[in-house]
Amino acid sequence: MELLKKTAVEIRQMLLKKEVSAQDLVDAAYKRIDTIEEKIGAYNCLTKEYALETAKKVDEKIAKGENLPPLAGIPLALKDNINLKGYKTTASSKILENFVSPYDATVSLKLKENLIPVIGKTNLDEFAMGSSNENSAFKKVHNPYNLNKVPGGSSGGSAASVAALESYLALGSDTGGSIRLPASFCGITGFKPTYGRVSRYGLIAFASSLDQIGPFGRCVEDVANLYFAIAGNDKKDSTSLNMKIENPLGTLKNPVKGLKIGVIKELLTDDVDEDVKNAIISAVKIYEKSGCTIKEISLPLLKHSIGIYYIVATAEASSNLARFDGVKYGYRTKNPSNLMEMYTKTRQEGFGDEVKRRIMLGTYALSSGYYDAYYKKAQQMRRLVKEDFDRAFKEVDLLVSPTCPNTAFELGSRNDDPIKMYLTDVGTICANLIGSPAISIPCGFDKSGMPIGAHLLADCFNDNLLLQAAYNYEAQTEFNKYFAKL
């Protein structure tokens, strides 16, 4: 168990000193999964053969004294909407229940190049649509801090696996907060890079103008290392940024003195739980002590972000999900009487309720006559929100807020009220609308012992500055050193 509580940075040293082998690490992760996974539900499938093969390669390199990439040999959990060749990629949907990836996503190839053993594919809200992981077609994920509570979504399995000590690292995807929200609910660190930094090739698309893959870890340095391992231009993704990526480790530990930090007024109102609010105020004080200037920033258009998001995201989803029609791959209904019935029944039987709700909303928003009133209007508003942030970034370098106004809620408690569920993302969605990098870091616990996350957001392309600021906070606090008692 003690081995599993370490960070990847610590494990790296142990590997180099031969105190532990990569095979030991993979074995320890699977042993933990054997004992605990039934209670957590983080994994859709395990990828044992691949993990052990990678560990073997790492151990051979260590034996020969060859150089190792920074995260080589460290077990990672991969969200099950990212393709890994030869293994199932289901997006936690019945429509892809038996789909085996014929190719690797670009990030999966990068994991291979970096000799990072993928130990399994993690559970998620179906097609990454949700905030609680309750929309998986297969099973629920339970929060390791309290098994009756949600882990957050949609990358709930990835976050829970790291928090339950089933893996050291994980990858998720973030369309409106799906990395940061579960990181916050499970007491770990989760980072959404600037849109386009990490290739989306091989990620099952939800809303293409918002989706971004990013890392989870137990400390900021692990997350920075993993981000650097997977980032970079990719010709296979037309929205991939063609910019050189500096290694974040170069500036990670630099002081933050003189940095200007804005506290978002609209996200620290009385609607925020008291414990969450107090934790954020304390976090801001840490930055003040480090020599940062603190300023309240108002973003008046922020209140529209949820409305904008649920038009843009559902519109894009309705188009992206058109490919699941029973013809090319995935589930097909049995014995349809004609072609139209084959399409309709396949989709009726294959998709869950939330996915259907979004396809209907999105199709409506894109339909002729409504396109101008909804989709076009939402995109125009998105631009105005971006301008709000542009103005803010003339005054400050970073923006701080709670990742979520509340901590993890009880399983089942928001299922009858989709609007209430959608409001969970009020603090995270704006980063996707404007394409900026944002991170959630552990910053406290509420009265019932559930983790609280602080959300830091920087202007586009300032990923490294964001990681530096997050590191600075972490170095002065202990909140990332707690573990769920399971």
The answer to whether 268 touches 455, Cβ cutoff 8 Å, is no
131 catalytic residue (yes or no): no
* Shortest distance, position 480 Cβ to ligand GLN, whole Å: 22
> Which stretch in 39-47, 123-131, 248-256, 439-447 sits in contact with ligand GLN by CB under 6 A?
123-131
Binding letters toward ligand GLN, positions 423-442, x by CB under 6 A: --x-----------------
Among candidate residues 6, 79, 110, 277, the one labeled active-site is 79
Helix (H) or strand (E) holding 429: helix 429-434
Contact positions with ligand GLN (CB under 6 A) in 175-194: 175-178
154 catalytic residue (yes or no): yes
* Shortest distance, position 284 Cβ to ligand GLN, whole Å: 26
If binding is defined by CB under 6 A, does position 163 make contact with ligand GLN? no
Q: Binding residue for ligand GLN (CB under 6 A) from 7, 154, 290, 468?
A: 154
If binding is defined by CB under 6 A, does position 134 make contact with ligand GLN? no
If binding is defined by CB under 6 A, does position 92 make contact with ligand GLN? no
Helices (H), 299-367: 305-320, 339-350, 353-366
Nearer of residues 206 and 227 to ligand GLN, judged by Cβ: 206
The answer to whether 167 touches 76, Cβ cutoff 8 Å, is yes
Please tell me the count of residues contacting ligand GLN according to CB under 6 A: 13
> Which stretch in 110-118, 169-177, 253-261, 291-299 sits in contact with ligand GLN by CB under 6 A?
169-177
| Cα–Cα distance, 480 to 255 (Å, whole number) | 20
The answer to whether 157 touches 42, Cβ cutoff 8 Å, is yes
Beta-carbon contacts of 164 under 8 Å, excluding residues fewer than 6 positions away, are 32, 36, 40, 42, 144, 484, 486
DSSP 195-255: TTSB--TTBPPSSTTT-EEEEEESSHHHHHHHHHHHBS--TT-TT---S----GGGTTTS-
The answer to whether 33 touches 120, Cβ cutoff 8 Å, is yes
Structure-block tokens of residue 469: 């600021």
> Which stretch in 96-104, 168-176, 300-308, 452-460 sits in contact with ligand GLN by CB under 6 A?
168-176
* Shortest distance, position 123 Cβ to ligand GLN, whole Å: 13
If binding is defined by CB under 6 A, does position 128 make contact with ligand GLN? yes
| Cα–Cα distance, 359 to 218 (Å, whole number) | 36
**What are the two backbone dihedrals, phi and then psi, of residue 260, each rounded to the nearest 5 degrees?**
-100, 120
If binding is defined by CB under 6 A, does position 196 make contact with ligand GLN? no
Nearer of residues 33 and 421 to ligand GLN, judged by Cβ: 421
Beta bridge partners of 216: 170, 190
17 catalytic residue (yes or no): no
* Shortest distance, position 359 Cβ to ligand GLN, whole Å: 13
| Cα–Cα distance, 442 to 279 (Å, whole number) | 10
Contact positions with ligand GLN (CB under 6 A) in 200-259: 206
Among candidate residues 101, 108, 132, 154, the one labeled active-site is 154
Nearer of residues 33 and 124 to ligand GLN, judged by Cβ: 124
Nearer of residues 221 and 425 to ligand GLN, judged by Cβ: 425
* Shortest distance, position 174 Cβ to ligand GLN, whole Å: 5
Beta-carbon contacts of 470 under 8 Å, excluding residues fewer than 6 positions away, are 189, 220, 439, 441, 456
Nearer of residues 41 and 130 to ligand GLN, judged by Cβ: 130
* Shortest distance, position 22 Cβ to ligand GLN, whole Å: 32
The answer to whether 170 touches 79, Cβ cutoff 8 Å, is yes
Beta-carbon contacts of 268 under 8 Å, excluding residues fewer than 6 positions away, are 277, 280, 401, 402
SS3 297: strand
If binding is defined by CB under 6 A, does position 131 make contact with ligand GLN? yes
Residue linked to tokens 């983790």: 451
Beta-carbon contacts of 241 under 8 Å, excluding residues fewer than 6 positions away, are 194, 196, 197, 233
Binding letters toward ligand GLN, positions 402-421, x by CB under 6 A: --------------------
Q: Binding residue for ligand GLN (CB under 6 A) from 166, 174, 388, 459?
A: 174
Contact positions with ligand GLN (CB under 6 A) in 304-323: 313
Tell me how far CA of residue 294 lies from CA of 297, 322, 472, in angstroms: 10, 47, 15
Among candidate residues 131, 136, 158, 178, the one labeled active-site is 178
Nearer of residues 177 and 193 to ligand GLN, judged by Cβ: 177
List residues binding ligand GLN (CB under 6 A).
128-131, 154, 174-178, 206, 313, 425
Catalytic positions are 79, 154, 178
